[in-house]
Structure 1
Amino acid sequence: MKKIIVGLLVFPGFQLLDIAGPKDAFAQVKVLSQGACEYEMLTIGTTRSPLLSSSGLTVIPDRTIFDPCPNLDTVIVPGGLGIFDVYSDSVLCDWLKEQSRSCRRLAAICNGVFALGAAGLIDHKSVTTHWMDAAHLSELFPSARVDPDHIHVKDGIIYTTAGVTAGIDLSLLMIEEDFGKRMAIDVAKYLVVYLRRAGGQSQFSPMLEMQGNVGTQVQAVQEFVLENLHLDHTLVSLAERVHMSPRNLTRLFAKETGVPPMSFLADARIDAARRHLEATEQSIKEIAYKCGFDGADSLRRVFVKRLSISPVEYRQRFRTGGSSIET
C-alpha cells in the first residue's frame, strides 16, 4: 500500500473548509482504491489548545508545531481571517522553513500564503491567493510574483490557491500527481466538483472526461483554447502552437481525452455560452462573438441542434437572477 503523510496546519480563526475539503478529497482515495492507496492526514496546531475555526467549530489538533512530527510529504496551510494574527509569528515561520527543507510539497490555500511569505518562502516565486488579498500580498512581499487570476499556481515545491473552495482544486491536482488522472477524476465525480477549472474562469462542466494530463501538450492546447474561445481556431493553427503535425495532435488528443481537438473546441464554446447565459446580462450577439460563434444566428442554430433549446429559452430556464437581454 502506498501511503502519503499530509500535515494540515491549524491556527485560531482558520477557515474550516480549507482543511475539510482536502481531508474529504484525500480520504476518498483509500475508498476508491480499496485500500491500495492512502493519505494519512495529521492536523498540526499552532497552540497546544483546541482551536476554534472561523465558522465556530473547534478542532483538537493531532500534533502541534512544538512537537516532533513524522516526516511530512505534504504540508498545507489553510486560510482564514486568523492568519493575520499568526502569520508573522517567529516560531511558525521557523517551523515552515524547516518543513520546506524536508517536505515534497508545501501548499497554502487562500490567504494562508501570507504565512509562507513571512517565512521567506515565496520570494521570486509565482503565487496566487484570494482576489481580495492579492494587492495586500504584493505590497507585503514585493519579491513574490502574485497572479490573482489563477485557481492554483505551482512553482517548485510551493503550491498556492485562490479562495476557499480552491483547496479542493488543489487536492485534486495533488491526487492526480500522486495516483494518476483516473483517480483524480473518480474523486472529483464523487465530490461532484470539477477536476480542473481553467484559469480564473468557471469550469466547463461537461468536459470533466475531456481534460488532458497535467503538463502535456494536449493540456497546453486545451488551456489556450479555453482562454481564447473568440479566436478563429483551426486544427492546423492549434497543432502549430505546440509544434506538432495536425495528425499527431489529433492522435494524442484522442488518446488523452477521447475526442479530437475540434470537437473539444465545439463543446467548449457551447458550454461557455451556457455559462454566460446563466450568469450575465450580455446579449445573445455579444455572447456569440465572445465564445467564437459567427453571430447570434450561428449560436441559435448550434444550441437548437445540440441542446434542443434556443439560447433565449435556455436563459429563461437557467438564469441565476436579473432580467434577460435577448437580442
Structure 2
Amino acid sequence: MKTIEKNVGKKNIVLLVLPQVQLLDIAGPCDVFTSATRFLANDQAGYNVFIVSGTSDKILYSSSGMSLPCSHTIYDIDFPIDTLLVGGTEPGVLHEINSDLYTYLRHIVKETRRIGSVCIGAFALAKAGLLKGKQVTTHWKYADLLQKSYPELEVNINPFFIKDQKIYTSGGVSSGIDLALALVEEDFGTFLASEIARHLVLHLKRPGLQSQYGNALPDYDMMSSFTKEIRDLLKDKLGQAISVEYMADSMHMSVRNFSRVFVRESGMTPGKFLEKMRLDQAKNLLEYTDMGIEMIAGKCGLGSVVSLRRLFLKHLSVSPAQYRKTFKRAD
C-alpha cells in the first residue's frame, strides 16, 4: 500500500472573500483542502481553512446572492498564514473596496509561504503591486483588460494556473480547483492529490488549455468605441482580403496614425485583432454548424485548411477537427 508523505503541523489556509465573489472561487479550493485533511486523518497534518473577509464586514454576499459568513476579517487575523488565495470579483468592485485591502496584501505577502488568486482575483494582487514582472493568468474573458491595465505583467491565458516564485494565479472560476489540487500535491505528494481528485470526480491535471474555452477577443461590451467600430466594419467581410490600409481608409486616417490609435485602444495591432476575429468566427462555425473545414477556412478568409490548422495550433494547440470533437454543440 502506498504511503502519503505527511508534513508536521497543520497549515493555515486563508481564502480571502471579496464582495460579489463567485461561490466556486471559494467553495472549490475549500473542498480540496478540507478533503486533504480528512484523507490524511492525522491531527498533526493537513490544513486549517479560514474564510476571511477582505472588508470590515464578516458577512459578504456572493454574485449569486448567497451570504458567506467569515470567521475573520483582514483587520483581526490573529494567526500565521501559510497560504492565502484571493477569490475573484468584478474588476469594478475592487475600486470600491477600502485601500486597506491592498495595504494588507502588500504586508502579508512577506509573511506567507504562498499567495495566489482564483479567477479575476488576480486584479486584486495586481492592484496591490504584487504581480509586477510576473507571468500570470486570469479568466480568459478579462485577460486583455488585465494586460492593458497592468502592462508590466505577462498575461498568459493558456494554463489553468501559473506559479511564478511564491505567487500563484489561476484562470476562470473552476481553475481554482486545479490550483488547489496542485498546492496539495506540492505539500503532500501526488498520491493524496490524486485521491482527492478521484473523490471529487475531477482530473488531477485537466487536459487542454484554458484558452480553448473562451473567445480570442474580449467581449464586445468591453471594447472601446473605436475598437467596436472596427469590429463592426469587419465582421461581415472576414472571407475577404482585408488590409490595414483598408481599415485606416474606412476611418479616414493615415495607416501610421490608425495603427498607433488602434494599439492604444485595443492593446493589440490591427493584424493581430483581425487574426483573432477570424479565429473566433472559425470556432463558432465549428461549434454550431456542420460546415466542412475547408469551407470554414474560406469563410474566415484563411484561404486553406492548412492556414486554418496553423491558426488553431498557434492559439489553441489543437487542430480544427479536434476542437470540433471537443466543443461541438448538441443539435
TM-score above 0.5: yes
Q: Residues 276-315 of structure 1, C-alpha deviation per residue, up to 9 Å, x if partnerless?
A: x9999586998xxx7xxxxxxxxxxxxxxxxxxxx9xxx8
Q: Pick from 153, 178, 182 the counterpart of residue 187 of structure 2.
A: 178
Matches within 5 A, 1:230-249: none
- In structure 2, C-alpha distance between the alignment counterparts of 1:75 and 1:281, rounded to whole Å: 46
Contact 2:62 2:68 survives alignment (8 Å)? yes
Contact 2:58 2:71 survives alignment (8 Å)? no
Task: Report deviation, 1:319.
Answer: 6.6
Amino acid at match of 1:21: G
Q: Pick from 19, 37, 42 the counterpart of residue 35 of structure 1.
A: 42
- In structure 2, C-alpha distance between the alignment counterparts of 1:83 and 1:28, rounded to whole Å: 34
Amino acid at match of 2:150: F
- In structure 2, C-alpha distance between the alignment counterparts of 1:282 and 1:149, rounded to whole Å: 27
Task: Report deviation, 1:202.
Answer: 7.4
Distance change >3 Å, CA 60–CA 24, structure 1 → 2 = same
Amino acid at match of 1:38: G
* 2:119 is aligned with 1:119: no
Secondary structure of the corresponding residue to residue 79 of structure 1:
coil
Q: Pick from 166, 174, 178 the counterpart of residue 169 of structure 1.
A: 178
Distance change >3 Å, CA 28–CA 284, structure 1 → 2 = farther
Structure 1, 47-56 or 94-103: larger mean CA deviation: 47-56
Q: Pick from 18, 24, 46 the counterpart of residue 11 of structure 1.
A: 18
Q: Pick from 188, 193, 200 the counterpart of residue 202 of structure 2.
A: 193
Matches within 5 A, 1:312-323: 320-322=329-331
Matches within 5 A, 1:60-139: 60-81=69-90, 84-86=93-95, 89-139=98-148
Distance change >3 Å, CA 148–CA 88, structure 1 → 2 = farther
Secondary structure of the corresponding residue to residue 110 of structure 2:
helix
Contact 2:18 2:89 survives alignment (8 Å)? no
Q: Pick from 161, 165, 168 the counterpart of residue 156 of structure 1.
A: 165
Residue in structure 1 matched with residue 33 of structure 2 by the alignment: 26
Contact 1:11 1:82 survives alignment (8 Å)? no
Amino acid at match of 1:27: T
Contact 1:87 1:114 survives alignment (8 Å)? no
Contact 2:91 2:120 survives alignment (8 Å)? no
Secondary structure of the corresponding residue to residue 101 of structure 1:
coil
- In structure 1, C-alpha distance between the alignment counterparts of 2:188 and 2:97, rounded to whole Å: 35
Residue in structure 2 matched with residue 44 of structure 1 by the alignment: 52
- In structure 1, C-alpha distance between the alignment counterparts of 2:162 and 2:287, rounded to whole Å: 28
Secondary structure of the corresponding residue to residue 7 of structure 1:
strand
**Structure 2 stretches lacking a partner, 5+ long:** 1-7, 214-285, 295-304, 310-320
Question: How many aligned residue pairs are there?
Answer: 224
Contact 2:138 2:170 survives alignment (8 Å)? yes
- In structure 1, C-alpha distance between the alignment counterparts of 2:164 and 2:289, rounded to whole Å: 34
Contact 2:135 2:162 survives alignment (8 Å)? yes
Secondary structure of the corresponding residue to residue 31 of structure 1:
helix
| Structure of greater relative contact order (alpha carbons < 8 Å, 6+ residues apart) | 2
Contact 2:118 2:169 survives alignment (8 Å)? yes
Contact 1:152 1:169 survives alignment (8 Å)? yes
Secondary structure of the corresponding residue to residue 102 of structure 1:
coil
Contact 2:30 2:49 survives alignment (8 Å)? yes
Contact 1:18 1:109 survives alignment (8 Å)? yes
- In structure 2, C-alpha distance between the alignment counterparts of 1:99 and 1:88, rounded to whole Å: 18
Amino acid at match of 2:61: L
**Structure 1 stretches lacking a partner, 5+ long:** 204-276, 291-310, 323-327
Cα RMSD for the two superposed structures? 3.0
